[in-house]
Amino acid sequence: MPPADGGTAVITDAATEVAAAARALVRSHDPHAVSADEFLEAAFDAGLTWVHFPAGLGGRGIARGLQPVVDAIFAEAGAPSLVSLNPIGTGMAAPTLCEHAQSDEQKRRWLHPLATAQDIWCQLFSEPGAGSDLAGLATSAVRDGDEWVVNGQKVWTTLAHCARWALLLARTDPDAPKHKGLTYFVVDMHASGVQTRPLRQMTGQAEFNEVFLSDVRIPDAHRLGAVGAGWRVAMTTLMNERSSIGASGSRRGDGTISDAVALWAQRPDRRSPVRRDRLTQLWLRSEAQRLTAQRAHATATAQGPGPEGSIGKLVGAELNQRVYEFCLDLLGPDGTLYDDYTMRHIGPADSNTGATVQERFLRSRANTIEGGTSEVLRNILGERVLGLPGDPRVDSGPWREVPRG
């Protein structure tokens, strides 16, 4: 019988090995001496992009919980952040492709350029008539031989304007209940019939888009999962999305709370006992969220992201808004100074780069909508984590018969 601490010893050995590999990569590909593309490609080839992925697909087939070991070494060396360069590709597309793509050849074809940020990804889920009720979507996919013909509209699509590929959830059986008539695809954003239009935010930026799909043809080889099993595949994406968005900094004081602390140091003229108490409470909430995110990550290490990941997203979104409300209060009249509403598209590397506190305050208003509204996340946590009774359902019949609008 193996010793009781055998599992711990194996993890410790693997951590030592993966740390040595990460340091060796930093030495052979100094992030300050090579291009971001070259470094990221070397990381993929070394199996350090996602260590829990299979060998040859950017991983080493080891525990998911060892990825922070690699990330910390890369960050300390000043390496490029794939999460920043390709956020949806890294947080949502990669785990979905790894689990559900039809062949290892297809997985590598998509994952390699994703991992080097050569191909940016976006996510075609929400629709004008099905945002919070994602399973009620109306975009259709009709089979035509070895292809599918897609028609519909998606909205709030982050980075669609610079994406090469997209994750698409479409309805393939309108006579099935809404959760069961969906199929999941990868769509070429350069394909004929794909049109992207920017959505201007109140910051002036156009980070989001609406996407129109008119007779877009998708090869059946680009289907992820079985026909009609799109909702199960979508759960892989959504659980990873919420865990990714809800992730907090690994060090105490990281994240948005650092903006509030820095501003407090810069504005002694606006300090008061009441504001000091508000800042202290925000700092404590931030620390609680960081520790909760670490616990959720530890759970995901063993079994993959689950509904618990929604806690970090829910708490983090509302905390961000409170932090920047405090910052604007601390600025006083200066908080109203925002003079650049110029319409401008932004790419993944531009998000929040050099942003003022005022801009971050405006941007934070979207936090409780994107990646699942706070209302939906509370339902998920109530039903799937706490075991509370679900809401009454009046839309369990065929999707075609469910009243819309």
Active-site positions read: 241
Kindly list the distances between the CA atom of residue 15 and the CA atoms of 20, 21, 69, 363, in Å, as whole numbers in the listed order. 8, 10, 7, 38
Strands (E), 181-274: 182-188, 194-199, 205-206, 208-219, 223-224
∠ CA 137-163-297, rounded to 5°: 75
Residue type, 228: G
Give 278-281's long-range contacts (Cβ < 8 A, gap of 24+). Answer: 278/326, 279/326
Residue length of the chain = 405
Q: Are 154 and 124 in contact (CB under 8 A)?
A: yes
Give buried/exposed letters for 348-374 (b at 16+ CB in 10 A, else e): beeeeeebebbbbbbbbebbbbbbbeb
Give buried/exposed letters for 297-325 (b at 16+ CB in 10 A, else e): beebbeebbbbbbbbbbbbbbbbbbbbbb
d(Cα 186, Cα 88) in Å, to the nearest integer? 13
d(Cα 193, Cα 251) in Å, to the nearest integer? 46
